[in-house]
Structure 1
């Protein structure tokens, strides 16, 4: 068979459903929203509103969050439609393999694995910074050599490694236990965020909104350059809903549950982000918010120091639940690669507790190494481009999905077809173009590495080849 024809051969949904029969369907709508909100309301809400207000949009950063939420919500509809029609593990990787062919599915999965691994490592690094700051206030801070990797003047970021290992220990306790921890953490951090929003309303200074969208940020088309740049960066915050799709093989009644979990996550998260940004920029002038802990800084500025400690604890809980959910998602994606033979088949094995043990171990080893030893500042935007690439292909894929007569598709359907899916795909491409050039170059290198792996290993061991 011609190698290109072979590479674009499509996987069957029945094959995926048969392979995923070893996974236990135990997740409810509440559990999915817990996983989604647990990921979305992570480090982003405690860091990004300040940085993006100071560097790109001023108080209009609230509009950027609304735009990012609207865009993510529409993309969420595309994922909801796919996950209703194909309740299998692997998210965009599996959907791409069925709709476009194996090589496109592989490249989408290759992009998502980059997104998940880097996101876990980046959030673990943020967790380490927050926790070490809190420990220093108590006189218990770690030595400098244990606060960062070799590239940043230390030996290892110890706390970042430890938080990943603790999250892994919880995951190995079983799906039932890990979802209880995730759901409890989500409830607690939402309560802390609402405390900040409600309490902060009493300290808002209307003068801080006077220069709502500062002139220095009004660049590009219609002067929206600053808001657009902020929106492109904020997309990272909403990657949680697409991780939900990675668990479709473990969901009860996926035809209805998947769409409710994805869309519920987007609605809750976008509301919290927008309210948080409005209150934050009302308490403190946007020019002062270019710090890593803007909420705690704002509370200290208005002499509410005791609440700044509460916010720090909320940030730690938020980041921990995000790490837990992302390790969960990345291990399921690695499992999907092993299930299909594109990576060693040992990754596709599931133990007696219905956990992909080998896939979890691989994910944790990579994520702990990156968090402990590699400075991630240059690579952060790669998280965004991996997310946006998946958004683009899945949104456009809805156009193809509706034409497939071999797929039973009685669940959620994306509205305003075919205009909305096509428009969302084009917007994803536009936001990719808004990312820094260095990000595009690094992503091109990653794609080339993925192609080399596929043609030298994956295509030879793929289970499609054996059919």
Structure 2
């Protein structure tokens, strides 16, 4: 492998701790993980980790609160942000076929501090998403059990802490209650992941076909109940702020963006893919395209059946099914939502456990996260600890008030991935790239700038801007909760690296030798 091109910048007194591709590849080869996943299984992993809470819950909220029928445009905007990022993920995954996803890419390209930043963002994305999905799963499962006459007591169906209605999240009430269903669901998924990735992939394949099949049945049955009048006006007149109008379309896109969280989970499976340089790009881009098609079709039917003003509910598809007037379809959609959210939870927890595995092996977090079971060949201790933490969060905390933070963390991580492609192209132009970002690029003073990565960065900024503006308005209106949570999480990440990661880093130990 040719040596990297030297930068023309003056030498710094302390150069960044940066891994070489050869070093990471060697570490990856000794991971102890089984290479069993095919391109098809990777696509299904991406679909399984993506189609869930976004389409079952957030489509209705985005339409009712911000965009109306034009939420279909919001889907396209959010999909474009993800597509340009998927191209970047595809190039990096084919060039750097290692576990750890964007964390490993940043470690090789920009050094340890950048890698820790990306890794901490990914943990925010996956961790909060897992809890939010588990909470949604609990709601649908409770509804499903009630159909069969099983009524879960309120004390076992809601989190310990709940936002006070009408407080905008600034007031929280506590009570003697736990979300038992969400807790159990997380622990069952944890047990499957500990059992083995191949077995988990088989279960995920069955679940994906079931939940996508249910959505297609909904589309087919709902198509005949569409009233074109519900699509007018396509872009409702602005009512100020992000409430409808063109601004509302972009604010809805930032909400819909959460619906795409999960497709990049495929990139964490490089150590367990049979042919990562070929199959990982196929899995990432393929799962994104499939999810976008399904989202657009379901949203079109939903908005054609139900007036958008009535969709600000936790179960918008259930509202549509009542209008369609087919009782058995209501049961089917409820089952589809429950099992669909199970597969999303599995995909997100799988991705987070693999990111933790990689970070721990670099010494930035305790080593037990990286211990692989000798027989099951999975990071079992880390997966169990992760499962317990996510289960406790699901059972006790009101996840709904921090969903926007997931989108902020995801957009930031995606933007860094796109920038990493540009960095790699300029520092290692001679590397073999089985998959390259399309659309080419141009040079400014000798620096290569890729069109697709730049568009990815711009679209990620576009996703983040409405969220930040709303956060500022919330603080001005007396609701500092989202900003406080963001500051606490960032501060915790900085302290973790300064007090533990920087000292225990394997790169730091190699410097001392």
1:454–1:368 distance in 2 versus 1, CA, 3 Å: same
SS at match of 1:203: coil
2:33 match:
23
Tell me the TM-score normalised to structure 2 length.
0.87
Partner secondary structure for residue 213 of structure 1: coil
Select the residue among 268, 273, 293 that pairs with 2:315: 293
Report the CA distance between 1:223 and its aligned residue.
4.6
CA distance in 2, matches of 1:6, 1:390: 25
Deviation at 1:17, TM superposition (A): 1.8
- Find the partner of 1:398 among 401, 404, 421: 421
Question: Structure 2: how far apart are the matches of 1:123 and 1:53?
Answer: 20
CA contact (8 A) 2:371 2:380 kept: yes
Task: Please name the residue that 1:376 is paired with.
Answer: 399
Change (3 A) 1:442 1:59: same
Distance 1:383 1:368 in 2: 18
- 1:388 has 2:411 as partner: yes
Partner of 1:458: 501
Q: Matched residues in 2 for 1:227 and 1:14: separation?
A: 45
Any gaps of 5 or more consecutive residues in structure 2?
1-11, 163-174, 442-449, 472-479
Deviations 1:395-447 (A, max 9, x none): 11111111233873321111123122123212212322211325455323322
Deviation at 1:136, TM superposition (A): 2.1
Quickly say closer, same or farther: Cα 1:157–1:406, change in 2 above 3 A. same
Q: How far apart in 2 are the matches of 1:156 and 1:223?
A: 40
Q: 2:46 aligns with which of 36, 45, 48?
A: 36
Task: Flag the 1:201–1:221 CA change in 2: closer, same or farther, 3 A.
Answer: closer
Q: Distance in 2 between matches of 1:95 and 1:64?
A: 29
The aligned counterpart of 1:325 is 347
**Structure 2 residue corresponding to 1:187, chosen from 195, 198, 209:** 209
2:448 is the alignment partner of 1:425: no
Contact 2:67 2:244 in 1 (8 A): no
Task: Name the residue aligned to 1:128.
Answer: 138
2:253 maps to 1:231: yes
8 Å contact 1:8–1:104 — kept in the other structure? Answer: no
The 8 Å contact of residues 57 and 217 in structure 1, kept in 2 or not, is answered as no
In structure 1, the residue matched to 2:487 is 444
Residues in 2 aligned to 1:308 and 1:251: alpha-carbon distance in whole angstroms: 38
Q: Report the equivalent of 1:101.
A: 111
Q: Which deviates more, 18-27 or 89-98?
A: 18-27
User: Which residue number in structure 2 is paired with residue 434 of structure 1?
Assistant: 466
Q: Which of 269, 272, 292 lines up with 2:291 in the alignment?
A: 269
Deviation of the 1:40 alpha carbon: 0.9
Q: Which moved more, 1:144-153 or 1:173-182?
A: 144-153
Q: How does 1:242-321 map to 2 (within 5 A)?
A: 242-321=264-343
Q: Give 5+ residue unaligned stretches, structure 1.
A: none
Contact 2:194 2:379 in 1 (8 A): no
- Return the alpha-carbon distance in structure 2 between the equivalents of residues 123 and 283 of structure 1: 26
| TM score, norm. by length of structure 1 | 0.95
The whole-number CA distance in structure 2 between the counterparts of 1:227 and 1:208 is 17
Which of residues 327, 341, 344 in structure 1 aligns to 2:363? 341
Structure 1 counterpart SS, 2:68? helix
Report the Cα distance in structure 1 between the residues aligned to 2:83 and 2:239, rounded to whole angstroms. Answer: 26
Q: Would the alpha carbon gap of residues 217 and 225 (structure 1) be closer, same or farther in structure 2, given more than 3 Å must change?
A: farther
What's 1:412 paired with?
435
Relative to structure 1, is the Cα distance of residues 7 and 336 closer, same or farther in structure 2, using a 3 angstrom cutoff? farther
Structure 2: distance between partners of 1:268 and 1:254:
20
Of 108-117 and 217-226, deviating more is 217-226
2:78–2:463 Cα contact (<8 Å) kept: no
> Alpha-carbon deviation of 1:48?
1.4
Distance in 1, Cα, partners of 2:244 & 2:204: 42
Per the TM alignment, residue 456 of structure 1 is displaced from its structure 2 partner at its CA by 1.1
Greater fraction of residues in helix: 1
Q: What does 1:10-89 correspond to in 2, within 5 Å?
A: 10-21=18-29, 22-89=32-99
Deviates more, 1:214-223 or 1:405-414: 214-223
Task: Pick the aligned partner of 1:155 from 174, 177, 180.
Answer: 177
Give the secondary structure class of the aligned counterpart of 2:455.
helix
RMSD: 1.9
Residue 202 of structure 1 corresponds to 224
| Contact 2:68–2:244 (8 Å) recurs in 1 | no
**Aligned partners of 2:96, 2:16: CA distance in 1, in Å?**
19
1:222 shift after superposition? 12
Dislocated runs of 4+, deviation >6 Å: none
